[in-house]
């Protein structure tokens, strides 16, 4: 990225192409990937079917994070109750078994769900790198429309094929309404 | 079911009125929040509910100063308004989770325009519900003893008690409902950040949106997180009211000791909750001009759910009577006879009228298509569900096994003030919510716009996601 720095001007983070319709964006993303671009991302006002595939994203690992969170929650709950009921504070109630596990199930279930839900949310935010107060793409003048009604494709400067002129021509050729430089 | 729904979709009202675009949906919903001028009815409504919140504070202060003696509870009715209102509020909350999670997994896309405020309703209802058991502790400042933590008393909560299960179920439910609601809000907060004109709001919404930029990679994980949360919330919501019903069913009191309680409570919860969603949706769509988004289709579908859950609840009532007879247990038989002909008989019969008779009018399409009629029925059902909790709690306790320990219960002014005060708290929170946050999910509404077509992706299990999940 620093290779594109021009003295006295901020360096360029990438080129942002604006589309008016989601299907154009998906088609453009697929074409860009065919052309060999890898370091790119799209910005859309709602999740779009087929876009992750067009951009070549791998399936997210989030379900495993959630599974691990749920298991930790369940084991923690059951372990805590078992430890307190049999080791730390055994209480003989009419000769009933100390490790009366069926009575431990409701809390085990609740804590499994709680830990899994927390892992889903914090896992998603963490993998996405949020909160992120600053991101170069916000420098693009019309980028606020990405949360309203416009669809953007960004080819980033760190892509090996990135070249200011050819990439700009390529994006314009995809039917973009406008292609702008995104400052670092 | 889906084919039937599709058929009805062709003939019935649409889920979003034609002519909307991504921009119009965005602008219409966000302008409610970003408008400079606060509508007069909002100021009035908020002011009135705030007054009621002050009454709640007064009632709580007096309770803390004088103790539980200011309430009408005593032997043998040691639980009354505190648990009645707790169960009633928790039940109301359940419809929000049902709409946001279960209908999402069932791909009922009409849920989109009502899920956001239904989720907010859940949160606020859980907050109101949580107050009652806390206040009933007598010394609420020791409530943290319910949480397992290493303490110098070397004591643990009693894991075998349904009341301790309740603590875990309700806190988990509160936290998960908040997470679900907040995750759904993130993209909309980004929209508000981008559209706010005033610096303060840009900063406020900007911080809450956490830098969301609608990246495809982020949406990719977001969809998965949302789907997994829905999958987790679905069994959770069933478990919460099941655990609440265990508070009763695990005891041996006639009228409580019953295996039908968990399903009967869950159905009753959804019943009460949809009544509350209707009570909120019908005025909101009128005063904010949201008839395009919350169409008659939504009201009709909710009316159908109301009817279906009402029938399940009715089945519960019938089974209680049947089991009392079939068990041949004299205490159970007496309990039902006492409900029907005892001192609280008017409660029993009004409850039957409210919960079984009144909703039968929903069989008629004309009633289902009339917002005023639905509003009336929703009020009747809300009252009926409150009466049901009263019946279950009070009539079972006040005359149990030993006639020498029978007694009567009547609430005092402080119990009424606390109860009505929580309604004020709920409304005040709802008013704040509709003023400062988008009450309809903007990003999900964009997916309903006809132009979005088949590309719009509801976060529901599609082929690729389903393949991943297994």
Residue B69 and residue B414 in contact, taking contact as beta carbons nearer than 8 Å: no
CA-CA distance, B307 to B262, in Å (whole number)? 19
Nearest to B409 by CA among B69, B68, B77: B77
Residue B370 and residue B37 in contact, taking contact as beta carbons nearer than 8 Å: no
| Phi, then psi, of A14 in degrees rounded to 5 | 175, 180
Tokens 């009621």: give the residue.
Answer: B52
Whole-structure pTM value = 0.89
Burial of A75 (0-12, 13-18, 19+ CB in 10 A): middle
3-state secondary structure chain A: CHHHCCCCCCCEEEEEEEECCHHHHHHHHHHHHHCCCCCEEEECCCCECCHHHHHCCCCCCHHHHHHHHHHHHHHHHHHHHHHHHHHHCCCCCCCCCCCCHHHHHHHHHHHHHHHHHHHHHHHHHHHHCCCCCCCHHHHCCCHHHHHCCCEEEEEECCCCCCCHHHHHHHHHHCCCCEEEEEEC
Contact A55 B217 (CB under 8 A): yes
For chain B, which ranges sit under pLDDT 50? 1-10, 460-470
How many CB atoms are closer than 10 A to CB B413?
11
Residue B136 makes CB contacts below 8 A (sequence gap 6+) with B68, B79, B82, B83
Of A49, A60, A114, the CB nearest to B224: A60
SS3 for B361? helix
Distance in Å from the first CA to the final CA of chain A: 9
CB proximity B431 to A under 8 Å: no
CA-CA distance, B131 to B136, in Å (whole number)? 9
pLDDT for A175 equals: 82
Compute the count of residue pairs across chains A and B with CB atoms less than 8 Å apart.
Answer: 209
Is domain B65-464 given the CATH code 1.20.1630.10 in the classification? yes
Tokens representing B128?
């109101």
Interface of B with A in 438-467 (CB under 8 A): 443-444, 446-447, 451-457, 459, 462, 464
Q: Going residue by residue through chain A (184 aa), what tens digit of pLDDT does each one get?
A: 444 545 555 688 888 889 888 888 888 888 888 888 888 889 999 888 888 888 888 888 999 999 999 999 999 999 999 999 999 888 888 888 888 899 999 999 999 999 999 999 999 999 998 888 888 888 888 888 888 888 998 888 888 888 888 888 888 888 888 888 888 8
pLDDT for B221 equals: 92
**B408 alpha-carbon distance from chain centroid:** 30
DSSP summary character for residue B151: -
Residue B275 makes CB contacts below 8 A (sequence gap 6+) with B306, B377, B378, B379, B381, B382, B385
Tokens representing B462?
């599609």
Residues of A in contact with B172 (CB under 8 A): 110-111, 113-114
**Structure ipTM:** 0.90
CA-CA distance, B30 to B134, in Å (whole number)? 37
CB proximity B179 to A under 8 Å: yes
Tokens 């009336």: give the residue.
Answer: B376
Nearest to B322 by CA among B390, B401, B258, B399: B258
DSSP summary character for residue B333: H
Distances (CA, A) of B377 to B277, B304, B371, B384, B424: 12, 12, 10, 10, 21
Contact B172 A41 (CB under 8 A): no
Percentage helix, strand, coil, to 5, in chain B? 75, 0, 25
Contact B23 A149 (CB under 8 A): yes
Distance in Å from the first CA to the final CA of chain B: 25
Contact B175 A80 (CB under 8 A): no
Residue B292 and residue B20 in contact, taking contact as beta carbons nearer than 8 Å: yes
Distances (CA, A) of A12 to A164, A183, B138, B235, B256: 9, 5, 64, 49, 70
CA dihedral of B431, B433, B438, B443, whole degrees rounded to 10? -140
pLDDT for B33 equals: 84
Nearest to A145 by CA among B195, B16, B459: B195
Interface of B with A in 185-224 (CB under 8 A): 187, 190-191, 193-195, 210-224
Rg (CA), chain B: 23
Distances (CA, A) of B308 to A138, B115, B117: 49, 20, 22
CA-CA distance, B338 to B330, in Å (whole number)? 12
The domain limits of chain A are: 2-60+134-183, 65-128
């Amino acid at each position: 990225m620093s290779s594109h720095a021009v003295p006295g001007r901020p360096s360029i983070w990438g080129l942002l192409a604006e589309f008016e319709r989601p299907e154009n964006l998906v088609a453009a993303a697929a074409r860009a990937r065919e052309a060999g671009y890898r370091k790119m991302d799209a910005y859309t006002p709602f999740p779009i079917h087929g876009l992750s595939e067009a951009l070549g994203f791998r399936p997210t690992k989030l379900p495993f994070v959630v599974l691990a969170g749920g298991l930790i929650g369940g084991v923690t709950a059951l372990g805590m109750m078992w430890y307190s009921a049999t080791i730390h504070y055994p209480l003989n109630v009419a000769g009933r078994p100390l490790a009366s596990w069926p009575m431990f199930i409701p809390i085990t279930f609740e804590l499994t769900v709680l830990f899994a839900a927390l892992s889903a949310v914090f896992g998603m935010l963490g993998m996405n790198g949020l909160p992120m107060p600053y991101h170069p793409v916000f420098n693009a003048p019309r980028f606020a429309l990405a949360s309203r009604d416009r669809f953007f494709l960004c080819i980033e400067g760190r892509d090996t094929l990135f070249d200011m002129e050819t990439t700009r021509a390529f994006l314009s050729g995809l039917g973009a309404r406008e292609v702008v430089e995104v400052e670092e | 079911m889906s084919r039937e729904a599709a058929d009805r979709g062709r003939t019935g009202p649409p889920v979003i009125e034609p002519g909307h675009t991504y921009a119009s949906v965005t602008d219409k919903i966000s302008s409610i929040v970003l408008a400079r001028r606060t509508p007069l009815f909002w100021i009035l409504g908020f002011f009135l509910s705030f007054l009621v919140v002050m009454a709640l504070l007064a009632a709580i202060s007096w309770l803390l100063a004088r103790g539980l003696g200011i309430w009408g509870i005593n032997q043998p009715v040691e639980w009354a308004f505190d648990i009645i209102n707790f169960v009633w509020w928790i039940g109301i909350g359940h419809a929000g989770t049902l709409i946001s999670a279960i209908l999402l997994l069932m791909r009922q896309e009409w849920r989109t325009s009502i899920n956001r405020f239904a989720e907010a309703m859940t949160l606020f209802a859980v907050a109101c519900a949580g107050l009652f058991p806390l206040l009933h502790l007598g010394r609420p400042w020791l409530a943290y003893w319910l949480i397992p933590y290493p303490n110098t008393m070397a004591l643990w909560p009693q894991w075998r008690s349904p009341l301790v299960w309740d603590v875990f179920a309700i806190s988990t439910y509160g936290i998960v409902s908040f997470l679900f609601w907040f995750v759904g809000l993130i993209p909309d907060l980004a929209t508000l950040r981008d559209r706010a004109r005033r610096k303060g709001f840009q900063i406020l919404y900007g911080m809450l949106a956490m830098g969301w930029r609608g990246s495809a990679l982020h949406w990719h994980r977001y969809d998965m997180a949302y789907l997994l949360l829905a999958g987790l919330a679905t069994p959770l919501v069933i478990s919460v009211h099941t655990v609440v019903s265990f508070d009763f069913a695990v005891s041996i009191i006639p009228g409580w000791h019953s295996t039908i309680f968990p399903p009967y409570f869950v159905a009753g919860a959804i019943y009460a909750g949809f009544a509350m969603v209707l009570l909120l949706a019908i005025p909101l769509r009128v005063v904010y001009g949201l008839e395009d988004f919350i169409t008659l289709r939504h009201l009709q579908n909710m009316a159908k759910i109301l009817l279906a859950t009402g029938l399940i609840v009715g089945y519960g009532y019938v089974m209680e009577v049947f089991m009392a007879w079939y068990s041949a247990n004299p205490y159970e038989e007496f309990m039902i006879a006492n409900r029907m002909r005892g001192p609280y008989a008017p409660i029993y019969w009004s409850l039957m009228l409210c919960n079984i008779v009144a909703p039968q009018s929903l069989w008629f399409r004309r009633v289902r298509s009339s917002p005023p009629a639905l509003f009336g029925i929703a009020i009747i059902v809300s009252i009926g569900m409150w009466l049901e909790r009263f019946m279950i709690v009070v009539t079972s306790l006040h005359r149990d096994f030993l006639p020498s320990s029978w007694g009567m219960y009547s609430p005092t002014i402080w119990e009424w003030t606390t109860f009505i005060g929580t309604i004020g708290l709920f409304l005040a929170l709802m008013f704040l919510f509709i003023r400062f946050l988008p009450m309809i999910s903007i990003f999900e509404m964009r997916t309903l716009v006809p132009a979005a077509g088949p590309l719009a992706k509801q976060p529901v299990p599609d082929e690729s996601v389903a393949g991943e999940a297994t």
